[in-house]
Structure 1
């Protein structure tokens, strides 16, 4: 072999060995420390300047989209405790992405930044959060760039700051305008597990939260949260990520294990297009659980399935299914320390939930109306084991229900919601709507319709249910009156009477009725559900006309209860 050939051969071998090193790219996404507890993160499309508490600049399309607003931060128990970041570091990376971890004493907040993505995947890992009710991440953004808001139930212009200045404050974050209508941030609330994409947007930019995996949220199907709003003091456009929230709950306060993880979710930016945000939602939903998130506990999942049949032989069609804490004394609304999954049965009572984290769970089910809207009982089974890559089949579960023959009357469908009653829609949030309900009304069984009863009651007065009995069964020992409340805000009370004899009450002082702030914050469809059951002596009922009265004795403006159903049955 000649010298020239030998040199060429050596060069080729060297290139072959070096090629893999040369092909490996460094990500364009970056973290830069600029001193004084300040860092800049982002990529070629956007960047954020993060300080000890607040991310005060968001550069996108040549403009700072925070402006004079507060920016991005993480906090718990409202605004009382903002996390303070003590350090930042790239803890993992690939050819086209980096994972930036910001550390605080309470835990670690991560931004997973990809070179080609406007936005970032985010998640939080707990280490020392206190027992809390509210835990959130959020953006407070420039109101010029983001004049509009969007949730799955409301879309439109956020009220400009000038409207607040011209109105009168009448309640927490609520103002009355000269024309009598109200401005309140709570009108931008929504059912959190129904969200696809939500956020704030304008003609050239949109900021969206996309949470395809909702298992880290607290609460059940009817969990409501404030999603977006206009900050009344500064005009900031506020985009909330309430990953543990209490806006419409009574007593949800939880302690978390070291390592409890919320997320990942996607914070996404675009040109303001809702069509594009919807497309991105579908993409993220299809990709969840995220394969790229190399967390052992996150990736360890199984599935659960089965069939619910009522004891009277009917399939539990359309029933709500909740996979939550096992052997818990909390309602499904108030559970929040672990991970939670929701679904509905099909027309045959069958259910199936994939991608459930491994662990031991409680299985809960209740009527969501429809064909089983007469069912007042709930189903619970504890100690359900979900194992990695295993399908847990609960087979056929029998749900005990009362006989339809025992039913004397029922007002409204049993579904933990106000659906079907007057003023329950069209939107599920409106401040002061409960004040439109009458002080007095009469509902006649057999003649009146559900729409003759109202979604909520608060004003001093009496609502009566008139019914006739043709006979009284000799075998019965009495009756049971069930008052199913879709929500309750303390401040108003009522006595419940049967033929002028008191059989129960709805009262602020009851241990069962800790205020959940639902009517106070304008909820009209659901809040935190409560079940009140009152025994009725057989002697109190008579053949012929009878009357149940709900007599409001104490009333506080905009506070009261949401009605789900009223049922009287023989026992």
Structure 2
């Protein structure tokens, strides 16, 4: 089409112009420029005094120089998809939160990372890769995190998006510190992006950021939760907005973002691999939320607490590559359904997952597929009180993670993890593992406890280690006398109450994730105003009668007390001198002390006490699980009696409404020689 226009116009010029050759040159340059604007796929780099532009004809990315802050993303006729008019955070940027060595809190100083040096790593018609480095400078000790940071941005030919990754390094002469959070954040246009999607069943029109301001919003029990009392759009009045209502577990956190309707444009953050994230596949983290904000989280302490802080000692040598992640843009013509952009984003996510590990990153710190190894095998599970023979561990989670003790992977942040699930016959294959020394870990749904393969695995480039047939023997001393719940590492099967009508997020009404409503912890005091929960084995139904979290009871303004739950059960005949075993699998714990007593609610000392444990804050942050705990309590036969017995579970801490326990599963086993 452009060529036809040019020929017609040139014929006109030949007839009427006195200097056709000069005009021909001008028009030729104009034609080339139009061809660029129409998107011929070549990647073009333009370096200016204070900013840099990468343009592949489909989108244009503008970064500050040498800082490497993302100042503009131009796509589909929108000059800039990013917001630049917020009072504080604007555009796109890497930031982190850090604390001085020895700090025992999950929040410290925020550090928006700006480069001190810029360089072009790759530049050709198919790819541009830029590097923005900030070396550690002792003169800013106490003001910046003691890390050397290299942030990379990559644009490829014919891609409607760009990639980014970062290399964090702590060297021998660096001071110690704690790294609390590392991420990329994008602040999108407030006037454009109003519809958010984080899952097929978790997407909606969102309130405006102004709705959270004083006068329009009322702060609730913590800063992230705001009751919308006078929103700009009346439809949101009476709703609660809280970014923690939109978290995802690592295993599910692959794509999320926003849709603009005029013109129809999607902005998506795609993370094709979890290898660099912390805490394993069930660790939860933020995604997208009001402002509108989209995050690529590399590591936080959310839903885990101080256990997942990266704690560095002076001189500790460490390096880790975070990413690459893909910022994907898509569009549909006017008149087509903008919500279809979500389905397209999911399809693109699948393509990115299949392409992992990418072959284009130029850093030697990111190993390509041929530089990685593989582990394969088959997992069985054997519980003689359920099956006489071992059976395939279908749908089990199997992973390799840094060497440690059984279950240590869920508290690991510094290095890499690689996970998969077994097929129905128990077979598994974990490809693309970085070279290094690992342990193999697993857990099997419907069974308590964790598995660890005791043989260390040394992964080398191109290696394939077949560990053969492995057998997990879950904790078990005797036959099951009774059980409460399902051993699935969540409290989802227990009773989750309806929210207070004053604090509703409409998205989660009649939703499978009903636990994501604000203020559910307060419903315990409504349901049990004077006496605590009593559960009778064989009569009660855990789906209706076991509250999803053992929380404190509110007794006044900012006054709370610990709670004691009772489990009543009968034993026909107590085995003399036998030892009964109480298994307590906990899905979440926050600043709690769980004490166990049998048939004497006032026994001092209690039969068992955890001491104060946990800090995952899953109750306040609408999570149905945090870090998994498993305790086994010996109950001597002398403490039991024929007929009715009672186990008392007391959570003693009472400083806040968020202290409490989510149970995963509880089981009482008889002595080992019974039912053998």
Q: TM-score range by the shorter chain?
A: 0.7 to 0.9
Structure 1 residues 347 and 293: alpha-carbon distance in aligned structure 2, compared to 1, 3 A threshold: same
C-alpha deviation, 1:112, in angstroms: 0.9
Q: Distance in 1 between matches of 2:158 and 2:317?
A: 35
Asked whether 1:457 is paired with 2:513, we answer no
Task: Indicate conservation of the 8 Å contact 1:486/1:527, yes or no.
Answer: yes
Is 1:468 aligned to 2:516, yes or no?
Answer: no
1:433-467 deviation per Cα after TM superposition (whole angstroms, max 9, x unaligned): 23234433332222333303222121334422111
TM-score by length of 1: 0.85
Alignment match, 1:192: 250
- Counterpart of 1:21? none
Which residue number in structure 1 is paired with residue 204 of structure 2? 156
1:475/1:403 CA distance change after superposition, 3 Å:
farther
CA distance in 2, matches of 1:376, 1:86: 48
Aligned to 1:239: 294
Give me the whole-angstrom Cα distance separating, in 1, the residues matched to 2:577 and 2:467.
37
In 2, Cα distance between equivalents of 1:26 and 1:270: 16
Q: Per the alignment, do residues 420 and 72 of structure 1 end up closer, same or farther by CA in structure 2, a change over 3 Å counting?
A: same
Give the match's secondary structure for 2:326. strand
Q: For residues 403 and 135 of structure 1, what CA distance do their matches in structure 2 show?
A: 40
Kept in 2: contact 1:418–1:526 (CA 8 A): yes
Please list, as runs of the form range in 1=range in 2, the aligned pairs for 1:364-513 lying within 5 A after superposition.
364-369=441-446, 373=447, 375-376=448-449, 378-403=451-476, 405-423=478-496, 426-427=512-513, 429-437=516-524, 438-439=527-528, 440-452=532-544, 453-460=546-553, 461-474=563-576, 476=578, 478-490=579-591, 493=593, 495-501=595-601, 502=603, 503=606, 510=612, 513=613
Residue 631 of structure 2 corresponds to which residue in structure 1? Answer: 532
Q: How many residues align?
A: 530
> Aligned residue for 1:100?
130
Superposition deviation, residue 494 in structure 1: 5.0
Q: For 2:493 and 2:41, how far apart are their aligned partners in 1?
A: 59
Q: CA shift at 1:109, angstroms?
A: 0.8
Query: Please, which runs of 5 or more residues in structure 2 have no aligned partner?
Result: 1-39, 98-106, 136-147, 172-176, 230-236, 332-337, 498-510, 554-562, 672-676
1:218 and 1:92, CA in 2 relative to 1: closer, same or farther beyond 3 A? same
Q: Is the 8 A contact 1:29 1:113 kept in 2?
A: no
Q: How far did residue 421 of structure 1 move?
A: 1.1
Q: Deviations over 1:52-74 (max 9, x none)?
A: 36323333324222232411111
Residue 390 (structure 2) pairs with residue 314 (structure 1): yes
Contact 1:119 1:267 in 2 (8 A): yes
Q: Residue 196 of structure 1: CA displacement?
A: 3.1
Alignment of 1:334-353 (within 5 A): 334-353=411-430
Range 548-557 or range 203-212, more displaced? 548-557
- Aligned pairs (5 A) from 1:28-67: 28-35=43-50, 38-44=51-57, 45-50=59-64, 52=67, 54-60=69-75, 61-67=77-83
Q: Give yes or no for contact 1:377–1:400 (8 Å, CA) kept in 2.
A: no
Partner of 1:298: 367
> Counterparts of 1:359 and 1:518 in 2: how far apart (Å)?
33
Query: Aligned to 1:517, which of 617, 625, 635?
Result: 617
| Residues 498 and 540, structure 1, Cα contact 8 Å, conserved in 2 | yes
User: In the alignment, what sits opposite 1:173?
Assistant: 224
Note if contact 1:85-1:104 (Cα within 8 Å) is conserved in structure 2: yes
Q: What is the RMSD computed on CA atoms of the aligned residues?
A: 2.7
Output the CA distance in 2 between the equivalents of 1:292 and 1:84. Answer: 24
| C-alpha distance 378-142 of structure 1, shift in aligned 2 (>3 A) | same
Classify the secondary structure of the residue corresponding to 1:134: strand
Shift in Å at residue 383 of structure 1? 1.1
Rate the CA distance shift 1:563–1:519 in 2: closer, same or farther, 3 A: same
Structure 1: unaligned runs, 5 residues or longer: 1-24, 231-235
What SS does the corresponding residue of 2:618 show, helix, strand or coil? coil
Does residue 285 in structure 1 map to residue 353 in structure 2? Answer: yes
